[in-house]
Amino acid sequence: MTSSQPPLPPLAGPEPPASAVPPESLTKATIYKAGQFVREVATLDEARAAIEADPEALAWVGLYRPTAEEVIAAAIVFGFHELIVEDVLRAHQRSKLERYGDTQFVVLHPAVYQDASSDVAFGEIYVVAGPNFVVTIRHCEHPAPGEVRARLEAEPKLLALGSEAVLYGYLDTVVDLYPSVVHGLQEDIDELEAAVFDGDPDATRRIYRLTREVTEYARAVRSTDNIMDALQRGFEEHDVDRELRRYLRDVSDHLTRVLERAEILHSALRDIVNLNSTLVAQRENEQMKKISGWAAVFFVPTVITGIYGMNFDRMPELHWLLGYPFAGALMVAGAVAIYLFFKHKDWI
């Protein structure tokens, strides 16, 4: 990547700036050269001094849940664009890639499936990659602290490609987390399908909760895919190293497969929604048939008692000694006949 980064701005003020003090959010700040570890530094100022002294060096600073003051201090030291600061301070940004000169600002949303709660937890990572520095700001536990750093340190030829190699490392690690989420969601869908067939009354609520999670997951994956597309479109314009292009295309290929599986999850959920609607309608129909059948059973006695309840003087069997037993037997016989009819039709 060509460099036209303006000189880093001087720090002003008579008091020692926040960047001269180790930030509480600083997880690690390391200097590399040609992909090799040089030394670890304790403050943002030391990191800045190292890359000013050696333009071929790379400073990699990691921050974990920094305060607004710490974000502003890092912005002053490394010359972040004001819109980067605004986005970081506002937080909860959508996944995206923005370019400000030779500095790239990327927002990533790693996803992790939590077995204990059967939920998908989404994190937030900001990567600010300049020509000779990388500042990462994490608001999540995954990927694990130091995971990307350890991976790239084990591949010095890749790390020697500079800040974009670090960006690649985060992209690849985040994408590698996605398949495990798909696996967890697929197990949830399989369990949900069994619950639907078993007539679980809680199935409908579980369907909509799972649909929401799959939708959020698919949105995060598509947003990451948009970042990969933007990076690939800028290969020529920003003179991205050809070896790094191959790595990034490999991430894009993995992401394509993840997207396909996310679409399969969506399709499976749509099928379950349709299946659940059909089964619910069938169960309601069965209930209506039972209600109708029993209503018919009690209809005959109701009609007979209604007739005899009219209290007319001239009615059949009114003055007959066996009139009441006859009426009772007629009601029972009629009810039994109707019951047997609907029982044969499997309505009762």
Task: Summarize the confidence of residues 76-86 as an average pLDDT.
Answer: 93
| Span 34-53, average pLDDT | 94
Q: Does residue 161 sit in the same domain as residue 251?
A: yes
Token reading at 178? 């996605």
Q: Which of 238, 263, 278 is where one domain is finished?
A: 278
Helix (H, G, I), strand (E, B) or coil at 17: coil
119 and 166 share one domain: yes
CATH of the domain at 273: 3.30.460.20
Instruction: For residue range 268-281, list pLDDT tens digits in order.
Output: 888 888 887 777 76
Q: Are residues 102 and 75 in the same domain?
A: yes
| Total count of domains within the chain | 2
Q: Do residues 61 and 32 make contact, with C-beta atoms less than 8 angstroms apart? A: no
pLDDT greater than 90 at residue 172: yes
211 and 314 together in one domain:
no
**pLDDT tens profile 189-204:** 888 888 888 877 788 8
Residues 243 and 163 in one domain: yes
Residue 183 and residue 268: Cα distance in Å, rounded?
13
Residues 248 and 316 in one domain: no
Query: Please, are residues 308 and 317 in contact by the beta-carbon 8 Å criterion?
Result: no
Cβ contacts of 323 within 8 Å, gap of 6 or more: 316, 317
Pairing of strands 26-33, 57-64: antiparallel
Same structural domain, 111 and 198: yes
Quote the distance between the C-alpha of residue 347 and its chain's center: 45
Secondary structure (H, E, C), 252-319: HHHHHHHHHHHHHHHHHHHHHHHHHHHHHHHHHHHHHHHHHHHHHHHHHHHHHHHHHCCCCCCCCCCC
79 backbone φψ class: left, alpha, beta (φ>0; ψ -120 to 50): left
Cis check: omega of the bond before 143, within 30 degrees of 0: yes
Q: What mean pLDDT comes out for the span 319-326?
A: 67
What is the per-residue DSSP string for 97-145?
Answer: EEEETTEEEEEE--EEEETTTTEEEE--EEEEE-SSEEEEEE-SS-SPT
- 224 and 325 in a single domain? The answer is no
- Asked whether residue 236 falls in the same domain as residue 286, the answer is no
| 247 and 290 within one domain | no
Sheet holding 26-33, edge to edge: 36-40, 26-33, 57-64, 133-138, 125-129, 103-108, 96-100
Q: Is residue 7 part of a domain?
A: no
The domain in which residue 102 lies consists of 18-278
Percent of the chain's residues with pLDDT above 90: 43
Give this prediction's pTM.
0.74
Instruction: Specify the long-range contacts of residues 192-198, CB closer than 8 Å, at least 24 apart.
Output: 192/272, 193/272, 193/275, 196/272, 196/275, 196/276, 196/279, 197/279
| pLDDT (tens digit per residue) in 243-290 | 999 999 999 999 999 989 888 888 888 888 888 777 776 666 667 767
Residue 9 lies in a domain: no
